Structure 1
Amino acid sequence: MPPSADPSVSVTLAEIARIAGVGRAAVSNWRRRHDSFPAPVGGTDTSPQFALSQVEEWLRRQGKLDEVGSRERLWPEFEALGDRDTMGRAIAAAGARLAREGAGHATDTTHAGDPPDTDATEGLPYDTGLSDAQRSLVERAVGLARKHGTRETFDFLLGRWLDTHVRQIGVTPRPLAALMAEVAELVRDGEAGDVGTVLDPACGTGGLLLAAARQWAGTVDAPPSGVPLELLGQDVDPTQAALAAVRIVLAGHSPERETDWKVDVRAGNTLRADPHPDVRADVVLCNPPFNERDWGYEELATDARWTYGLPPRTEPELAWTQHALSRLAPGGTAVLLLPPGVASRRAGRRVRAGLLRSGVLRAVVALPPGSAPPHSVALHLWVLRAPSGGGTDAGAGVLLVDAADVQPEPSGKTQRTGRAAIDWPLLRRRVVSAVQVIQAVQVGDEDGNRSADHAVVPVIDLLDDEVDLTPARHVPKRGTSANLGLRRSWNRFGTLLQELRNLTATLSALELGDEEPVGQGTVTVGDLLRAGAVTMRAGQQPADGAVRTGDAPDDAVPMLTVADVLAGGRPSGWLPAREASAGETAGTLTVTVPEEVVVVGAYRAFGAWVDTGAPTVLGSQLFALRVDPTLLDPWFLAGCLRAPANARQAGTHASASSRIDVRRLQVLRLPLDEQRRHGEAFRRLTAFERSLREAGTIGGELVDGLTDGIAAGRLPGNRA
C-alpha cells in the first residue's frame, strides 16, 4: 500500500471512481448517503474537487479501497507535478529503475536516493534533476510496480501522461504501427527474419519501434524470431526519447525470458545533427512532424542526403523522406506516414520525379481519415526501398492503393471525438493484399495491374507536369465497398424516414390558431434576469493552446464555438476536465450544466437549445441561461428564444457580423403547466429538425454514390 498522498493533491469525482474501481454514479451516491464523505476543497458545484489524502482515508475506513485503484491513486500526484516535462522525467526515472531491476541490477533499493546518472548495462537515463519530493514519488511508483506489475504500471503512467498532453504529442496508433511494420516486411528483399537493425528517426515515445519488435524479434506478447535485433531511435524532445528508451526495454522483460534486442534511443535534432549519422538500417519506420517550416533549409542546402533533389523550404516531409533513404542499407525498406499534400504539392514535384526515376518509391497508400493524428486528414503511407548493389529499380511500376474509403466498424463504434472508429482488420486486409503484388509486377504487365482498390502505374505515366501521386487520381472506384456503403446509407435513411413519419403524425396534429390569444403577452430575457427566473453567463475564449483536438480522455469536456455551430454543431475541440473545472473556478471559462439553455449571440449562426450533453465549454458569442425550474421550463425557453422573429428584432443589423442582444429576446408569458406543454412540443420539433437534417445529409450521399456508380457503367445488365 503506497503512503498517503500529498494533502495538496486534489481529485475529481471521475478520478475517485477510478481509484475505488466503481462507476461515477456510485461515488455520487456515496456523497448523498454518507455525511462523513470529504467536503470539496475546490472546483465548482458541477465539478467539485476533493483532497486525495482525505478521499483515501475515507475509502479505507469504509473498506472501499479496491486494489484495482492502486495505480489510479498514484496518477493524481504525478499530474500535480505540473509541467509536461517534469511529469515525463519522473515517469522515465521510475521506468529506468524498474528496467534495471528487471535486468538483475540495483535490486537493493537502499541507495535509491542517490542513483547514478546512467545505467551502463542498458544505457538508460536516470534523471538526477528531480526534487526530493519527486524522487519520493518515483520510489512509490517503483514499489507499486513490484506489486502490481512492472510493464502494467509503467504503461499506465505513460498512457495517462499521453492522454493529458495529447495536443502536444502525436502518437501513432498501435494498429497503424503494426501495419507499417508488416508492409515493410512485405516489400523488403530477403526472407522474413533477416532484419537486424530498425531505425525511427522521429520516434516520439517509441510506438513504431515497439511495432518493429513485435514484427521481427517478439515480445512477451509474441514469440521471438530468434534473430538479434537492434532498435535505434531519436527524437528532438529529450523527455520523449527517455520515455521511449525505457518503454522499449521494459517491453522486452518477461518473467520467463528476455527478448534478444538492443535498444539505443538518443535525443537530438535528426535533420540538423543526426545522433545516428553512420547507421545503415534494414528498415526505417517513421511518422515525422508535419508542416515544420523551420527544418534547416538554409544550413542544409548542400547536404549530401538530398540525392533526389533539394527539398523546398515548404516541403519538410520530403527532407525526412530522403533522410530515411540515406540511412537504409542496400535493399532496405522505409515506410513513412505523411500528409496527403506531399503527393501533389507543386513545390515538391522535382523531388517526387527524382524518387520515381530512381525506382526507390515503391508504393503510396491512402488511409481513411481518423487513422492517426491529425484525424480529419486522410494520411498517406509512402513505401521506399533502397537500391540493391548500387543499381536502380526504375523499371518497376509504382503501386498506388486507395484505402481511404474503408468503412467504419460494423458495430458502429465511435471514438471519443464522435468520429466513427476505423475498421482496422478490413484496412489491413485491403492494404496487405495490394502490397503483395509489388514484387511480381513489371511495367509491361499493365493488364491486370489495376483492381477495385489499387493500381500499379508505370513510372512514365506519372512523370507529367504535376507528378501527382495521389492514389485516388489513378485508382478506379471500388464497387464492392461502394455498394456496402450504399446499403448502410439506405438502412439509416429508412430508419430516419420512420422517425420522421412518427414525428410528422404528432406535429401535424397540432392545430395553430389564426390569431394570437388576447392578453397573453411576452417578457424579455432582460426582464427574466431582473426577476431572478434566469441567470446568464457569457462564453469566453480560452487561453492559447488550452483547447485540444483529436482523441480525448473519458472525462474530457468538449469546447463549442460559433464556427462549430456553423459547421453543424459538433464540438471540434476539448479541454481536460481538471483544466475546465479550474478555469470555471477562476472565472476564465464558462462551462454548462445539464438542462441549461445555450444561445448563440451571432446572427449568422443564431440558435437556442437545451444542452442535454453538458458539461460543455462555451466560446465567445455563446451564452448559457440557467432557469429556476419552479418558474420556467428550459425546453419552453429554448423554443421561444430560437424563433426566427426573435433574431430579427433582437439583432443589431449593423453589418454582416451582426450580433444578437440576448437580453432583448422575447418569451411568452405562460403558467408553468402551459410552459411544459409547449416545451414538449418544442422538444419534438427539435427531434424532427435533427432527423430531417440527417436525412438530408444521407440523402445527398446516396445521390452522389448512385451518380458515380451509374456514370461508371455499373448498372445491372450492362454489357461491354
Structure 2
Amino acid sequence: MTTTSAVPVSLAEIARIAGVGRAAVSNWRRRHDSFPSRIGGTDVSPQFSLAEVEQWLRDNGKLKDVGGRELLWPRFEALGSRDESGLAIAEAARRMRSPRARVSQPELSGAARELVGEAARLGRAEGSRETFEFLLQRWLETHVRQLSTTPPPLATLMTRIALAVRLGGTDQRELTVLDPACGTGHLAAAALQEYDGPGLTVLACERDPALAALAAARLGFLTEDRGVRAEITTADALRDDSFAGSGADIALCNPPFNERDWGYEELATDQRWTHGLPPRTEPELAWVQHLLAHLKPGGTAVVVLPPAVASRKAGRRIRGSLLRTGALRAVVALPPGSAQPHSVSLQLWVLRAAPDGSAAAPPGQDALLVDATGFAKPGAREPGPDWDALGSFVLTAVQALDHPDRELPGSAVRVPLLDLLDDEVDVTPGRYTANSTEASGAELAASWEHLRTHLAELTDHVRYLSGLGFESGTAQTTATVGDLLKAGALTLRAGQQPTETAVAPREPTVPLLTVPDLLMDGTPSGTAPAGSAPAVVEEGDVVVAGVVRAFKAWVHSGPPLALGPQLYALRVDREKLDAHFLAGCLRAPANGRQAGTHASSSSRVDIRRLHVLQLPLAEQAAYAEAFRRLRAFETLLTRIDGSGRGLVDDVGDRLAAGGLTA
C-alpha cells in the first residue's frame, strides 16, 4: 500500500502545494535546518517525502489556502502505472457522482482503491467536477509524451464546422454525434458544450481502457441533468465496429496517425470501403471511410489528418473517388502547433454524405480549399494559432460552402473538381491558394494607410533626431562596465544553456532567448526552469548580446525572460543610472568593436570592457530620450521596408491581372 511517507515530491511540486514559486522553496531549504531531508532524486532534482513536506508546511504556516487536490495528486502519480492511475481517477469521478457505488474496476490495487475513496470524499467537499478536471489535467500533463489529445479550441472549431456544414440540421430536433477514437473525450465534450438543443445522443469508442474510462467520467459530468444519452465503448473501431448500423448527424475524429497495423488483412473485404480498399500505408483513409459509413444523409464529418494524406501517391485513387462523389467537401490547412505533433501543419477534412444518397457530386460542384497556416499567434515563443482569428476565418469560409455567390475570405478558394482530378489528385490547400490570394481593394487601402502612419511617425523622429546638436572637440570621460560593477551602479548576470536534468516534470518555465533567436526574428525559441535559470531579466533590465555578429543592447519590456549563452543581464541602481541611457551607450557599434576579442564576426564581446559616458543622473535623461528615439527610428525603418516590399508585390500582382481604372 502506498502511504504518503513513501510518496516522493519534487521542489516544483512542493511549490505548487504551497502556492509559491520554486525559488521560494529552494530558499526554505537553505534557510531552515528543519526542512525535510532528501529521500531520492539527484542534487539538481531532489525528491522529498510528501508526508514530511506536508507536516513541515503546516508547522511553519506555509500551506495557506491551497486545497487538498495538490496534496492528493502526488499519490496518484506514485501509483506508477499510467493505466492504473487513469482508471483510479475515472473510478473516483464515478464515486463522486454516486457515493454508494461500488468499485467497478477490479484490476485496481489496494492502494489505488484507498486513494479512490479519498479522492471521492475530497471531490464531494471541494467540487466533484473541478476535482476530476484537476486530476485529469495533471494525468494528461504527466503522460503527454504517450498520449495525443485534441486541444479544446480545436475541438470547439471542429464542432462548429460540423454544425455549420451539415444539411437539414436546422429542422432536426435530434442530433447524434459520433467519435470512434475519442481518447479522453475532448471532441465529445466540445459537442456537448456547443449544441444545446434537445435529443442529443453521443456515441464514442476508444480502444484504450484507461482513456475510455476517463472519457466516460468526463461525459458523465457534462450530461448530468441534461437528458443526454452518452454511450462509450472500449474497442478498436476499425476492427470491431461497436456502432455498426448506427447513423450520425455529425462525426468528429482525431484518429491515430501512421499506424501500419490497422487491420489491412482482416478488413480487406469490409463493406465500409466504398471508395476503395485503403492501402496498408494509408490508415487515415480507412478512418475517413469509417466516418462516411456512419453518416446519415446530409450528415457531416470533420477529421484531423496529417498533411501527407492530401498528396501521397498511394491514396490518390481514394481521394479521387471522394471528390467525384462529393464526399470530400473542404480541406483546411491549420497553423503548426494546432495539435500534436506540434511541428506539423495538420489538416481538417470536411466530409459530407449526399442528402439524397446519390453516388456522384452534383454538376459544377467545387471543393473548398482553405489555407489557414498564416494564423499563428504573433510573438508567441512556441508555435500555435491565434484561435479567435483562426476560428472566425475558417467558419466564414466553410459557411460559404453551399453559397457559390458568396465571397470567400483571404486564402480560401473554390477549386473545380476537374482541376483536382489530375494524375496526382493533390488536395493540399497551399498548392491552389498561393496564386489566388491577391490583395483586395480594402486590403490595399489598409496597407497604404499603415504605411502613411509609419511614414508620419518616421518624419517626427527625423525632425527630432536631425535637430540634435553636438559639440566638437570636447572630450567626455567614460567608465567601463567593470568600473560600474565595482562602484555598485549595476549588477551583471551571464546567461547559460539550461541542462536537461534541471527541468522537473511540469515545473514552471519562462521563455529562453538565445543568440540564434536574435539572428532570426528575436522570438525566444525555448524555455528554461523559472526558479533555476541563472539569468532571468525583468522589465527595466538591460540585455546585452556579447557576440560581434549579433551585438546589441536594449531595455527589456514585458514578462520575465531567461537568457542563453553569450547573453548578459544588467540591472541598474536607479539612483545612479538610467537604463535607457546605459543601453544606448552600450549598443554603439564602435563600443562593440573596441570590446571585441577578435576581428571575426564570431568573436565574443567582453562586456566588462564596454564604455559608458560618465554623467550625473539628471543629465542622463536627455541622452536616454535621444537613444529611445533612435531605437524607434531603427524599428520603423524595418517596418516600413517590410510594408513597402509587401505593397510592391501586391500592387504588382493587381496590375499584372489587369482591370486598372485610374
Q: What is the identity, as a one-letter code, of the residue corresponding to 1:212?
A: A
1:248 Cα offset (Å): 1.4
| Structure 2 counterparts to residues 144-163 of structure 1, below 5 A | 144-159=122-137
| 1:668 counterpart residue number | 611
1:213 Cα offset (Å): 3.5
1:569 Cα offset (Å): 0.8
Give the one of 613, 633, 639 matched to 1:694.
639
**2:393 aligned with 1:393, yes or no?**
no
Per-residue deviation, residues 21-69 of structure 1 (Å, max 9, x unmatched): xxx9xxx9xx9xxx99x99999xxxxxx9977666777799xx74xxx6
SS at match of 2:400: helix
| 1:469 counterpart residue number | 427
Per-residue deviation, residues 539-583 of structure 1 (Å, max 9, x unmatched): 2155399799xxx99x651122333222211123445xxx442xx
> Using the alignment, how far apart are the partners of 1:388 and 1:502 within structure 2?
63
> Using the alignment, how far apart are the partners of 1:522 and 1:301 within structure 2?
80
> Using the alignment, how far apart are the partners of 1:545 and 1:315 within structure 2?
41
Per-residue deviation, residues 648-695 of structure 1 (Å, max 9, x unmatched): 5626567xxx53323377311543637955555444433433344334
Q: Structure 2 unaligned runs (5+)? A: 39-47
Q: What is the identity, as a one-letter code, of the residue corresponding to 1:146?
A: R
Give the one of 492, 497, 514 matched to 1:561.
514
**2:370 aligned with 1:402, yes or no?**
yes
- Contact 1:293–1:313 (8 Å) recurs in 2: no
| Structure 2 counterparts to residues 209-288 of structure 1, below 5 A | 209-214=188-193, 222-223=196-197, 225-226=198-199, 229-234=201-206, 239-253=210-224, 257-266=225-234, 276=242, 278=244, 281-282=247-248, 283-288=250-255
Q: Cα gap change, 1:213/1:169 in structure 2, threshold over 3 Å: closer, same or farther?
A: same
Per-residue deviation, residues 582-622 of structure 1 (Å, max 9, x unmatched): xx2xxxx4441325544445554443334334532334x44
**2:389 aligned with 1:423, yes or no?**
yes
1:361 Cα offset (Å): 1.8
**2:391 aligned with 1:433, yes or no?**
no
| 1:540 counterpart residue number | 497
What is the RMSD computed on CA atoms of the aligned residues? 5.5
| Structure 2 counterparts to residues 98-117 of structure 1, below 5 A | 98-102=93-97, 105-107=98-100, 115-117=103-105
| 1:443 counterpart residue number | none
- Contact 1:500–1:691 (8 Å) recurs in 2: yes
1:483 Cα offset (Å): 5.1
Q: What is the identity, as a one-letter code, of the residue corresponding to 2:108?
A: T
**2:158 aligned with 1:180, yes or no?**
yes
| Structure 2 counterparts to residues 3-152 of structure 1, below 5 A | 65=65, 70=67, 74-75=69-70, 77-78=72-73, 90=85, 93-102=88-97, 105-107=98-100, 115-117=103-105, 128-129=108-109, 131=111, 135-136=114-115, 138-152=116-130
Q: What is the identity, as a one-letter code, of the residue corresponding to 2:191?
A: A
- Contact 1:88–1:243 (8 Å) recurs in 2: no
> Using the alignment, how far apart are the partners of 1:386 and 1:239 within structure 2?
33
**2:417 aligned with 1:459, yes or no?**
yes
- Contact 2:333–2:345 (8 Å) recurs in 1: yes
Worse overlay, 93-102 or 159-168: 159-168
Per-residue deviation, residues 372-392 of structure 1 (Å, max 9, x unmatched): 567787653212245789862
> Using the alignment, how far apart are the partners of 1:402 and 1:708 within structure 2?
21
**2:567 aligned with 1:623, yes or no?**
yes
Q: Cα gap change, 1:570/1:457 in structure 2, threshold over 3 Å: closer, same or farther?
A: closer
Per-residue deviation, residues 397-439 of structure 1 (Å, max 9, x unmatched): 3431437399899xx99999797552367336514522344xx
Per-residue deviation, residues 506-533 of structure 1 (Å, max 9, x unmatched): 4334334556837x466476x8789986
| Structure 2 counterparts to residues 518-537 of structure 1, below 5 A | 520=477, 523=480, 535-537=492-494
> Using the alignment, how far apart are the partners of 1:307 and 1:180 within structure 2?
25
1:247 Cα offset (Å): 0.8
- Contact 2:326–2:360 (8 Å) recurs in 1: yes
Q: Structure 1 unaligned runs (5+)? A: 43-48, 119-126, 438-446
SS at match of 2:518: helix
Counting matched residue pairs gives: 627
Q: Cα gap change, 1:616/1:416 in structure 2, threshold over 3 Å: closer, same or farther?
A: same
What TM-score comes out, normalization by structure 1 length? 0.68
- Contact 2:591–2:610 (8 Å) recurs in 1: no
> Using the alignment, how far apart are the partners of 2:406 and 2:478 within structure 1?
74
Q: What is the identity, as a one-letter code, of the residue corresponding to 2:303?
A: L
> Using the alignment, how far apart are the partners of 1:203 and 1:611 within structure 2?
44
- Sequence identity percentage: 37
Q: What is the identity, as a one-letter code, of the residue corresponding to 1:248?
A: L
**2:304 aligned with 1:337, yes or no?**
yes
SS at match of 2:522: coil
Worse overlay, 690-699 or 675-684: 675-684
1:147 Cα offset (Å): 3.6
SS at match of 1:558: strand
> Using the alignment, how far apart are the partners of 1:513 and 1:313 within structure 2?
79
| 2:184 counterpart residue number | 205
- Contact 2:235–2:242 (8 Å) recurs in 1: no
SS at match of 2:560: coil
1:333 Cα offset (Å): 3.9
1:277 Cα offset (Å): 8.7
1:252 Cα offset (Å): 0.8
> Using the alignment, how far apart are the partners of 1:355 and 1:14 within structure 2?
54
1:240 Cα offset (Å): 4.0
Worse overlay, 660-669 or 557-566: 660-669
- Contact 1:10–1:52 (8 Å) recurs in 2: no
> Using the alignment, how far apart are the partners of 1:241 and 1:665 within structure 2?
60
Per-residue deviation, residues 430-477 of structure 1 (Å, max 9, x unmatched): 14522344xxxxxxxxx8598667665443332123323244655695
- Contact 1:203–1:234 (8 Å) recurs in 2: yes
> Using the alignment, how far apart are the partners of 1:707 and 1:714 within structure 2?
12
> Using the alignment, how far apart are the partners of 1:165 and 1:691 within structure 2?
45
> Using the alignment, how far apart are the partners of 1:688 and 1:345 within structure 2?
49
| Structure 2 counterparts to residues 462-611 of structure 1, below 5 A | 462-471=420-429, 482=440, 485-486=443-444, 489=447, 492-493=450-451, 496-512=454-470, 517=475, 520=477, 523=480, 535-540=492-497, 542-543=499-500, 556-574=509-527, 579-581=529-531, 584=532, 589-594=533-538, 595-601=540-546, 603-611=548-556
| 2:602 counterpart residue number | 659
1:251 Cα offset (Å): 0.9
- Contact 2:219–2:230 (8 Å) recurs in 1: no
| Structure 2 counterparts to residues 349-364 of structure 1, below 5 A | 349-364=316-331
Q: What is the identity, as a one-letter code, of the residue corresponding to 1:435?
A: L
Q: What is the identity, as a one-letter code, of the residue corresponding to 1:128?
A: L
